[in-house]
Structure 1
Amino acid sequence: MGTLQIAIPKWNITEFSGYEPITTFWQDFSIADKFGNRAIEDTYNRAKFEWKDNYKYWTELCLVLNHKIWQWHERDNQKATLYDRLWREADEMTAEWSEEQQEYYFEVTD
Protein backbone atom coordinates (compact mmCIF):
# COMPACT_ATOMS: atom_id res chain seq x y z
CA MET A 1 0.00 0.00 0.00
CA GLY A 2 1.39 3.41 -0.99
CA THR A 3 1.82 6.38 1.28
CA LEU A 4 -0.37 9.43 1.01
CA GLN A 5 1.55 12.56 0.14
CA ILE A 6 -0.02 15.98 0.29
CA ALA A 7 1.82 19.03 -0.94
CA ILE A 8 0.74 22.04 1.09
CA PRO A 9 0.89 25.26 -0.90
CA LYS A 10 3.01 28.04 0.54
CA TRP A 11 0.97 30.73 2.26
CA ASN A 12 2.83 33.92 1.47
CA ILE A 13 0.99 35.99 4.10
CA THR A 14 4.17 37.14 5.84
CA GLU A 15 5.74 38.38 2.60
CA PHE A 16 2.42 39.89 1.55
CA SER A 17 1.45 41.72 4.74
CA GLY A 18 4.05 41.13 7.45
CA TYR A 19 1.61 38.99 9.47
CA GLU A 20 3.24 35.98 11.19
CA PRO A 21 0.85 33.02 11.46
CA ILE A 22 0.19 31.70 14.97
CA THR A 23 -1.90 28.62 14.09
CA THR A 24 -1.82 25.67 11.71
CA PHE A 25 -5.11 26.69 10.05
CA TRP A 26 -3.51 27.14 6.62
CA GLN A 27 -2.03 23.66 6.75
CA ASP A 28 -5.21 22.17 8.22
CA PHE A 29 -7.40 23.55 5.44
CA SER A 30 -4.84 22.71 2.76
CA ILE A 31 -4.99 19.08 3.89
CA ALA A 32 -8.80 19.20 4.01
CA ASP A 33 -8.81 20.58 0.43
CA LYS A 34 -7.43 17.23 -0.76
CA PHE A 35 -10.33 15.33 0.83
CA GLY A 36 -13.17 17.50 -0.45
CA ASN A 37 -15.86 19.86 0.76
CA ARG A 38 -17.05 17.69 3.65
CA ALA A 39 -13.52 17.64 5.05
CA ILE A 40 -13.29 21.43 4.68
CA GLU A 41 -16.58 21.88 6.57
CA ASP A 42 -15.46 19.41 9.24
CA THR A 43 -12.17 21.29 9.67
CA TYR A 44 -14.07 24.56 10.01
CA ASN A 45 -16.53 23.11 12.55
CA ARG A 46 -13.67 21.71 14.64
CA ALA A 47 -11.86 25.05 14.59
CA LYS A 48 -15.09 26.84 15.48
CA PHE A 49 -15.79 24.51 18.40
CA GLU A 50 -12.24 24.77 19.73
CA TRP A 51 -11.25 28.37 19.00
CA LYS A 52 -14.31 30.61 18.61
CA ASP A 53 -13.52 32.36 21.90
CA ASN A 54 -9.88 33.09 21.03
CA TYR A 55 -10.07 36.32 19.02
CA LYS A 56 -6.50 36.09 17.71
CA TYR A 57 -6.95 32.54 16.45
CA TRP A 58 -10.38 33.41 15.06
CA THR A 59 -8.87 36.38 13.24
CA GLU A 60 -6.32 34.10 11.62
CA LEU A 61 -9.06 31.62 10.73
CA CYS A 62 -10.91 34.41 8.89
CA LEU A 63 -7.71 35.37 7.11
CA VAL A 64 -7.10 31.78 6.00
CA LEU A 65 -10.68 31.32 4.81
CA ASN A 66 -10.46 34.52 2.78
CA HIS A 67 -7.18 33.45 1.18
CA LYS A 68 -8.66 30.05 0.40
CA ILE A 69 -11.49 31.76 -1.51
CA TRP A 70 -8.88 33.39 -3.73
CA GLN A 71 -6.83 30.21 -4.03
CA TRP A 72 -9.81 28.35 -5.50
CA HIS A 73 -11.87 31.05 -7.25
CA GLU A 74 -10.63 30.27 -10.77
CA ARG A 75 -9.95 26.54 -10.37
CA ASP A 76 -12.84 25.12 -8.33
CA ASN A 77 -15.93 27.27 -7.97
CA GLN A 78 -17.57 24.82 -5.56
CA LYS A 79 -14.66 25.05 -3.12
CA ALA A 80 -14.44 28.82 -3.52
CA THR A 81 -18.17 29.16 -2.81
CA LEU A 82 -17.87 26.95 0.27
CA TYR A 83 -14.94 28.96 1.60
CA ASP A 84 -16.87 32.17 0.93
CA ARG A 85 -19.85 30.90 2.96
CA LEU A 86 -17.59 29.83 5.84
CA TRP A 87 -15.69 33.12 5.76
CA ARG A 88 -18.95 35.12 5.87
CA GLU A 89 -20.14 33.15 8.90
CA ALA A 90 -16.78 33.51 10.67
CA ASP A 91 -16.55 37.22 9.85
CA GLU A 92 -20.09 37.83 11.09
CA MET A 93 -19.18 36.34 14.47
CA THR A 94 -16.62 39.11 15.01
CA ALA A 95 -19.39 41.74 15.16
CA GLU A 96 -20.03 40.79 18.80
CA TRP A 97 -16.42 41.31 19.87
CA SER A 98 -15.17 44.10 22.09
CA GLU A 99 -13.78 47.24 20.50
CA GLU A 100 -10.21 46.13 21.28
CA GLN A 101 -10.77 42.72 19.69
CA GLN A 102 -12.36 44.24 16.60
CA GLU A 103 -9.47 46.68 16.29
CA TYR A 104 -7.05 43.72 16.26
CA TYR A 105 -9.20 41.94 13.67
CA PHE A 106 -9.32 44.93 11.31
CA GLU A 107 -5.61 45.61 11.75
CA VAL A 108 -4.68 42.06 10.79
CA THR A 109 -7.22 41.55 8.00
CA ASP A 110 -7.03 44.99 6.36
Structure 2
Amino acid sequence: MTFRAFMAENGYNVQTTFWEDFSAADIFGLSAIQDTFNRAFEEWKGNCKYLTELVLVLNHKIWQHYKTKPTVAALYDALWRQAHQYAIENLKDEELSYYYDVTD
Protein backbone atom coordinates (compact mmCIF):
# COMPACT_ATOMS: atom_id res chain seq x y z
CA MET A 1 0.00 0.00 0.00
CA THR A 2 1.37 3.40 -0.92
CA PHE A 3 1.75 6.25 1.54
CA ARG A 4 -1.00 8.20 -0.20
CA ALA A 5 -3.37 5.23 -0.15
CA PHE A 6 -2.61 4.52 3.50
CA MET A 7 -3.22 8.13 4.48
CA ALA A 8 -6.42 8.34 2.42
CA GLU A 9 -7.67 5.15 4.06
CA ASN A 10 -7.17 6.90 7.39
CA GLY A 11 -9.03 10.04 6.31
CA TYR A 12 -6.02 12.24 5.54
CA ASN A 13 -5.52 13.96 2.18
CA VAL A 14 -1.83 14.25 1.32
CA GLN A 15 -0.91 17.85 0.51
CA THR A 16 2.79 17.71 -0.39
CA THR A 17 5.32 15.71 -2.37
CA PHE A 18 7.39 14.98 0.74
CA TRP A 19 6.93 11.20 0.41
CA GLU A 20 8.09 11.23 -3.18
CA ASP A 21 10.94 13.63 -2.37
CA PHE A 22 12.28 11.41 0.40
CA SER A 23 11.75 8.25 -1.64
CA ALA A 24 13.97 9.76 -4.35
CA ALA A 25 16.53 10.78 -1.71
CA ASP A 26 16.54 7.20 -0.34
CA ILE A 27 18.15 6.07 -3.60
CA PHE A 28 21.09 8.43 -3.15
CA GLY A 29 21.80 7.76 0.53
CA LEU A 30 22.09 9.50 3.84
CA SER A 31 23.46 12.84 2.62
CA ALA A 32 20.60 13.16 0.11
CA ILE A 33 18.06 12.37 2.83
CA GLN A 34 19.62 14.99 5.11
CA ASP A 35 19.70 17.56 2.30
CA THR A 36 16.06 16.87 1.42
CA PHE A 37 15.09 17.32 5.05
CA ASN A 38 17.09 20.54 5.42
CA ARG A 39 15.43 22.10 2.38
CA ALA A 40 11.90 20.94 3.25
CA PHE A 41 12.17 21.89 6.91
CA GLU A 42 13.59 25.35 6.28
CA GLU A 43 11.05 26.16 3.60
CA TRP A 44 7.94 24.74 5.29
CA LYS A 45 8.43 24.82 9.07
CA GLY A 46 6.26 27.93 9.19
CA ASN A 47 3.33 26.12 7.58
CA CYS A 48 1.50 24.07 10.20
CA LYS A 49 -0.07 21.63 7.77
CA TYR A 50 3.12 21.02 5.79
CA LEU A 51 5.18 20.67 8.96
CA THR A 52 2.67 18.12 10.22
CA GLU A 53 2.88 16.18 6.99
CA LEU A 54 6.68 16.28 7.09
CA VAL A 55 6.55 14.67 10.55
CA LEU A 56 4.14 12.01 9.24
CA VAL A 57 6.39 11.18 6.30
CA LEU A 58 9.50 10.97 8.47
CA ASN A 59 7.71 8.61 10.84
CA HIS A 60 6.59 6.37 7.99
CA LYS A 61 10.10 6.37 6.57
CA ILE A 62 11.43 5.07 9.91
CA TRP A 63 9.05 2.13 9.68
CA GLN A 64 9.81 1.57 6.00
CA HIS A 65 13.53 1.11 6.65
CA TYR A 66 13.97 -0.13 10.22
CA LYS A 67 14.38 -3.83 9.34
CA THR A 68 16.37 -3.60 6.13
CA LYS A 69 18.34 -0.34 6.42
CA PRO A 70 18.90 0.47 10.09
CA THR A 71 21.26 3.40 9.41
CA VAL A 72 18.67 5.01 7.14
CA ALA A 73 15.97 4.40 9.76
CA ALA A 74 18.21 5.94 12.43
CA LEU A 75 18.65 9.09 10.35
CA TYR A 76 14.91 9.32 9.74
CA ASP A 77 14.37 8.88 13.48
CA ALA A 78 16.74 11.75 14.28
CA LEU A 79 15.05 13.96 11.68
CA TRP A 80 11.61 13.00 12.98
CA ARG A 81 12.67 13.92 16.51
CA GLN A 82 13.97 17.29 15.34
CA ALA A 83 10.81 18.15 13.40
CA HIS A 84 8.50 16.86 16.14
CA GLN A 85 10.32 18.85 18.81
CA TYR A 86 10.13 21.97 16.69
CA ALA A 87 6.40 21.44 16.18
CA ILE A 88 5.54 20.99 19.84
CA GLU A 89 7.69 23.96 20.86
CA ASN A 90 6.52 26.38 18.17
CA LEU A 91 2.95 25.55 17.18
CA LYS A 92 0.30 27.21 19.31
CA ASP A 93 -3.43 26.95 19.88
CA GLU A 94 -5.34 25.67 16.81
CA GLU A 95 -2.12 24.78 14.98
CA LEU A 96 -0.90 22.62 17.85
CA SER A 97 -4.34 21.00 18.09
CA TYR A 98 -4.21 20.25 14.38
CA TYR A 99 -0.74 18.75 14.75
CA TYR A 100 -1.81 16.45 17.58
CA ASP A 101 -5.08 15.50 15.89
CA VAL A 102 -3.32 14.45 12.69
CA THR A 103 -0.27 12.77 14.23
CA ASP A 104 -2.09 10.98 17.04
**TM-score when scaled to structure 2?**
0.93
User: Is there any run of 5+ residues in structure 1 with no aligned partner, and where?
Assistant: 1-8
Of structures 1 and 2, the one with the larger relative CO (CA 8 A, separation 6+) is 2
Higher fraction of helix? 2
In the other structure, the counterpart of 1:70 is: 63
**TM-score when scaled to structure 1?**
0.88
User: Is there any run of 5+ residues in structure 2 with no aligned partner, and where?
Assistant: none
Candidates 20, 42, 59, aligned match of 2:52: 59
For the residue of structure 1 that corresponds to 2:36, the secondary structure is: helix
Runs of 4+ in 1 over 4 A off after TM superposition: none
Candidates 82, 93, 101, aligned match of 1:89: 82
Candidates 83, 105, 108, aligned match of 2:99: 105
1:2-55 CA-partner distances (Å, limit 9, x unpaired) = xxxxxxx8212212x211100000000000001101000000000011111001
Identity of aligned residues (%): 52
In the other structure, the counterpart of 2:2 is: 10
Give, in whole Å, the separation in 1 of the partners of 2:42 and 2:75: 18
